[in-house]
């Protein structure tokens, strides 16, 4: 993608995220969207999405996984 296409791609992705406050899963549990990082480069895009998703906390702890950034979770 050339620079103009990358700028347009970022704008489209950002606009899409701006319209979302939360996502509801099939079990009715909500994940609140906190923030996102969108980086577009000639070969593609990098998206990092930060959410509060209480339904994912128990599976994460049971599997011994840790979040890359859990600064929003005081129990981390």
Contact 53, 31 (CB under 8 A): yes
Over the stretch 59-68, which tens digit does the pLDDT of each residue have?
666 666 555 5
Mean pLDDT, residues 15-23:
85
Across the beta sheet with 22-24, what order do the strands follow? Answer: 22-24, 30-41, 44-52
Q: Does the pLDDT at position 73 exceed 80?
A: no
Q: For residue 61, is it left (φ>0), alpha (ψ between -120 and 50) or beta?
A: alpha
The residue whose two tokens read 């929003």 is 72
pLDDT in tens, 20-36: 888 887 778 888 888 88
pTM: 0.59
Q: Whose structure tokens read 């840790």?
A: 66
Provide the CA 19 distance to its chain's centre, in angstroms: 14
């Amino acid at each position: 993608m050339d620079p103009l296409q990358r700028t347009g791609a970022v704008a489209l992705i950002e606009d899409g995220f701006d319209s979302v406050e939360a996502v509801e899963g099939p079990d009715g549990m909500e994940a609140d969207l906190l923030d996102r990082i969108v980086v577009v480069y000639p070969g593609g895009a990098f998206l990092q999405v930060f959410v509060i998703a209480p339904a994912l906390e128990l599976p994460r702890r049971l599997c011994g996984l840790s979040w890359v950034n859990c600064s929003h979770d005081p129990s981390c």
